[in-house]
Amino acid sequence: MRLQRAARNPLPMTPQEITLVQTSFAKVAPIATRVADLFYSRLFEIAPDVRRLFPEDMAGQRKKLMLMLGADVGSLGVRTCADGHPAVGFGV
Ligand code: HEM
């Protein structure tokens, strides 16, 4: 039933949307450090209070952010089993 599906997955992405996100991410990947820098600059501009939650040297944090985003973007549309491994070949 549509309602039940919406409750489990409120914002399902179409294959086209997934492709758009993945191709856009691939374009910014070569300038990942700059992108992360822009992200945190904007974050600290609109929410200065959160700056104290982060380390003074943001180099490692920038790397973690982009690695995490890359992993998320790369796994869009990939169904996973309960333990997180891709559900490939199980007919799901
Ligand atoms: C797309 C958005 C975001 C992604 C992908 C992301 C991802 C991450 C990752 C991968 C870490 C490192 C975790 C670790 O060291 O094991 C982290 C840490 C953290 N994140 Fe985020 N984050 C995002 C947005 C935000 C925002 C908006 C805030 C604050 C309002 C925030 C606050 C923090 C804090 C305080 C830490 C811990 C920093 C430390 O090591 O001291 N994050 N985040």
Of 39, 68, 75, the one to substitute when testing ligand 1's pocket (max ligand atoms within 8 A of C-beta) is 68
Q: 2-74 belongs to which CATH class?
A: mainly alpha
Give the Å distance between the CA of 71 and the centre of ligand 1.
Answer: 14
Return the exposure string of 34-67: e unless at least 16 CB atoms fall within 10 Å of the residue's CB, then b: ebbeeebeeeeeeeeeeeeeeeeebeeebeebbe
Q: Where are the domains of the chain?
A: 2-74
Distance 92 CA to ligand 1 centre (A): 32
Tens-place pLDDT, residues 10-62 = 668 999 999 999 999 999 999 999 999 999 999 999 999 999 999 999 999 99
What pLDDT is recorded for position 37? Answer: 97
